[in-house]
Amino acid sequence: MHLLYEEGGDIKIATAQATSGSGDTESWQATSLSGKKIKLKAKEVWLRFENPPAQLVMDQAIALSKEIDLQLLWDCAPDEEFGLVGVSLEYFGAQASISEQAALGIALQGAPVFFRRKGRGRFQRAPLEQLQAGLAALERKQKELERQAVWQQELVSGVFPESLRSEANQLLFSPDKNTSAYKAFIAACAQTGEAPAQLMIRCGAIDSPLQYHQEMFQKTHFPSGCNHLEGVGVDQERLNAVIAQLPLAQVSAFSIDDAATTEIDDALSVTPLKDGGHRIGIHIAAPGLVITKDDPLDQVARTRMSTVYFPGDKITMLPDSVIEQFSLDAGAPRPTLSIYVDIDSTGVLNKDSLQMRAELVPLVANLRLEELEHLVTEESLLSEDSDFPQRQELGVLWQAAKLLHAGRQEQRVLNGLRPEQLGVVVPNALARDFHFQIKDVDDEKRVEITPRIRGSILDTIVAEWMIYCNSASGRLLADHGLPGLFRTQKGWGPLRTRMQTTPGPHEGLGLDYYAWCTSPLRRYSDLVNQWQLIALSKHGVTAKMVAPFSPNDATLMGVAAEFEACYQAYGEFQDRLEKYWCLRWIAQDGGSKNLFVRHMKEGMARVELVPLHLPIPELAAHPRMARAEVIISDVDLLQLSAGVRVLHIEVPEALVNDASPS
């Protein structure tokens, strides 16, 4: 005997092997068409039959079910609840076969719009109003599926549907996976074997891999867009009122930056003293005099945490209008928070002479590294015949900077670290900093990548005096018990360098205290520290009572954690974009490039001329800095990868000796 039953919403047939009980308690040991052993009870069975064979009935029923007119079946069915056999006689007539009855069961089970399920093998037709609503929904669904199929074929053919163009970014970066648009998009990707971004680029929905990398970052960190809201800025009248209360410094200050810098945060001044020494001024742009904690501009700065730098562009922390008001551009005096320290004629600092005050500082020049760096040498600083701006001032700053550097190296040695040699170019060393210049040439973007000189006199002057400013600021905060955002480095491990709200040493720099404060136009940490320092400059020992952040302030601790996370994410994005432009540099003159690389570690190598790291397994067994000539080809700007073929490997004897066991 064969048994028709329902399991998991599907109509199935099994063949009884053994039976027990009778009537309502009857049950069977049976085998399904798939060979599965099952047990069925009387109340679970819809129909029982001997012939025809079970598989034949099922095959015929499946075919017949597709031909059943559901509307006619609904018309034939009674208003009250009914069973399968009864409605079969209405639809097929008195001679309804087992196959027809099974087909009807399949049709009823699969038509919830027309019929409600009332139990096993029991149904009731849906009310007319619900039927009409259900049919309308089915029609809409069918049209939706047809539209989805059209979109899919357009995408496969390389045409992005015009009606979806406004949704392109959402489909790629934050899709609603239940929409027809997303289903069509993913189906097209599956059909072509392309990644979503590849398909978008081929269809012209996004312009290039560069746009993909940028918008992926912006979607995560700038979901409302990178532009600042109009109307958020510093009221000029309020700024004028603040400026009117500031004393005018009797100095002539100048900045030193590269040509691309538009947010000039810091400047230096050198004023002769009667005893032959000099007073050095470090002048930091002071937006903190007007921007206050929790005001609209603070909320903007805290949301962004930092200016984002990447080749060819940047996303500023503060609006351009605010940067223009506070950037230390040459011309009219600018509000600054200044730190002064005296040095003697040999360049030795008098630590007890440290002063800090808010003031207006005249800016006489904005020096650019690219224009001066090659002119400023030990000899030219001493020569009266040298003709470049601020020669005497730079000579004084350089003499003291060398002593500042030497003092930090002594502390590094005490910390168990190697001293860093000032201005010494290590043979065989790779350049660490680069300048990326993006140009439009014949309607195509081309990139030039040049090493940026580190350790030059101008570079060292800026670095040492800014380090001193950050160190002195950290000491002032610590000595007065004011919390701030301190950059500390101690011990080893992944959390060796971190931001914290209490003072701590920076072992790598050889300093007892270090608090970022020299870039308040670009880093939120520096703006926060500036608020604390302004309170100190105005109120002295009572600053703790009025400073924006008090000791153990939970808000400040949250800022430290948020800044650390943002700063890391922004750095990773900058690295990603630099890798993109390095690969563009390789591909822009053809499909491949012959270059030399150096082995770093574990098969990772870096191209000598640009900061591009690539895996080269052949170098894994060779010592660090082993050199190899390679061909780089098959550049993939979307995946940021390339194929590398090694031509030959050079291992200088010195490296072999260094790598051999002693």
pLDDT in tens, 31-63: 988 888 989 888 888 888 888 898 998 899 889
Do 314 and 191 have their domain in common? no
CA dist 545 and 149 (Å) reads: 68
Whether the per-residue pLDDT at 234 is higher than 80: the answer is yes
DSSP conformation letters of 199-231:
HHHHHTSSS-HHHHHHHHHHHHH-TT-SSPPTT
Banded pLDDT at 659 (limits 50, 70, 90): very low
Claim to verify: residue 554 and residue 643 sit in the same structural domain: no
pLDDT band at 148 (very low <50, low <70, confident <90, very high): confident
Looking at the predicted structure, is the pLDDT value of residue 605 above 90? yes
Mean of per-residue pLDDT scores for the chain: 89
Cβ contact 562:305 at 8 Å: yes
Mean pLDDT along residues 379-393: 89
Task: Indicate if the pLDDT at residue 573 is higher than 90.
Answer: yes
pLDDT digits (tens, 9 = 90+) for 311-332: 989 999 999 999 999 999 998 8
Q: What is the pLDDT of residue 22?
A: 82
Looking at the domain assignment, is residue 581 inside a domain? no
Determine the average pLDDT of the residues in 168-180: 86
Q: What is the DSSP string of 242-296?
A: HHHTSPBPS--EEEEE-TT-----EEEEEEE-TTS-EEEEEEEE-GGGT--TTSH
The CA distance from 391 to 380, in Å, is 8
Say what the pLDDT of residue 144 is: 85
Upstream peptide bond of 52 is cis (omega within 30 degrees of 0): yes
pLDDT tens digits for range 396-437: 999 999 999 999 999 999 988 888 888 755 556 788 888 898
Q: Report which of residues 552 and 533 the model is more confident about.
A: 533
Q: Domain count of the chain?
A: 4
Domain-embedded: residue 470: yes
Per-residue pLDDT tens digits for 56-88: 988 998 898 888 888 888 888 888 888 878 788
Domain annotation covers residue 485: yes
Residue 633 forms beta bridges with which residues?
592, 643
Q: Which of 569, 601, 621 is the last residue of a domain?
A: 569
**CA-to-CA distance for 126 and 79, rounded, in angstroms?**
9
If one compares 427 and 573, the residue with the highest pLDDT of the two is 573
Query: Is residue 220 in some structural domain?
Result: no
Closest residue by Cα to residue 170 from 187, 154, 158, 182: 182
Q: Are residues 340 and 379 in the same domain?
A: yes
- The arithmetic mean of pLDDT across residues 551-570, rounded, is 93
| CA–CA gap between residue 547 and residue 540 (Å, rounded) | 11
Residues 340, 374 within the same domain: yes
Strand partners of residue 445: 440
Does 382 lie in the same domain as 349? yes
Which residue would you say has higher pLDDT here, 658 or 470?
Answer: 470
Q: What share of the chain is helix, strand, coil (3-state, %, to 5)?
A: 40, 25, 35
Q: How sure is the predictor about 167, in pLDDT bands with cuts at 50, 70 and 90? A: confident
Find the mean pLDDT for residues 119-132: 83
Strand-pair category, 497-500 with 486-489: antiparallel
| Separation CA 125–CA 78 (nearest Å) | 7
pLDDT > 80? residue 211: yes
| Element housing 337 (H / E) | strand 331-343
pTM above 0.85, yes or no: no
The predicted pLDDT at position 495 comes to: 66
Which has the closest alpha carbon to 517: 189, 266, 162, 144?
266
The average pLDDT across 169-173 equals 86
Same domain, 358 and 472: yes
Q: HEC string of 132-200? A: HHHHHHHHHHHHHHHHHHHHHHHHHCCCCCHHHHHHHHHHHHCCCCCCHHHHHHHHHHHHHCCCHHHHH
| Same domain as 542, residue 435 | yes
Q: Are residues 287 and 158 in the same domain?
A: no
pLDDT of residue 428: 65
- How confident is the model at residue 332, as a pLDDT? 87
Q: Is residue 222 part of a domain?
A: no
Q: Which of 129-133, 357-361, 413-417 has the highest mean pLDDT?
A: 357-361
409 & 483 share domain = yes
Q: What is the pLDDT of residue 205?
A: 87
Residue 475's pLDDT is what? 95
CA distance 603 to 581: 22
Q: Is residue 26 within 8 Å of residue 42, measured between CB atoms?
A: yes
Instruction: pLDDT band for 652, please (50, 70, 90 cuts).
Output: low
At 493, the pLDDT band (50, 70, 90 cuts) reads: low
Q: Are 482 and 547 contacting, i.e. CB atoms less than 8 angstroms apart?
A: yes
Q: How far apart are CA 515 and CA 500, in angstroms?
A: 10
Tokens 């099974």 sit on residue: 102
Is the same domain home to 497 and 370?
yes
The residue type found at 171 is L
Query: Are 340 and 420 found together in one domain?
Result: yes
Structural domain boundaries enclosing 628: 590-659
For residue 2, count other CB atoms closer than 10 A to its CB: 21
pLDDT at 660: 40
pLDDT of 655 > 70? The answer is no
Among candidate residues 186, 206, 226, the one where a domain is terminated: 206
**% residues pLDDT > 90 (the chain):** 51
3-state secondary structure of 592: strand
For β-strands 37-41 and 27-32, DSSP reports them as antiparallel
Final residue in a domain of this structure, among 206, 223, 253 = 206
Measured distance between the N- and C-terminal CA atoms of the chain, rounded to whole angstroms: 87
- Residue pLDDT, tens place only, 339-352: 999 999 999 999 99
514 within domain boundaries: yes
Task: Encode pLDDT of 497-515 as tens digits.
Answer: 889 999 999 999 999 999 9
Do both 138 and 112 map to the same domain?
Answer: no
**Confidence at 444, pLDDT banded by 50, 70, 90:** confident
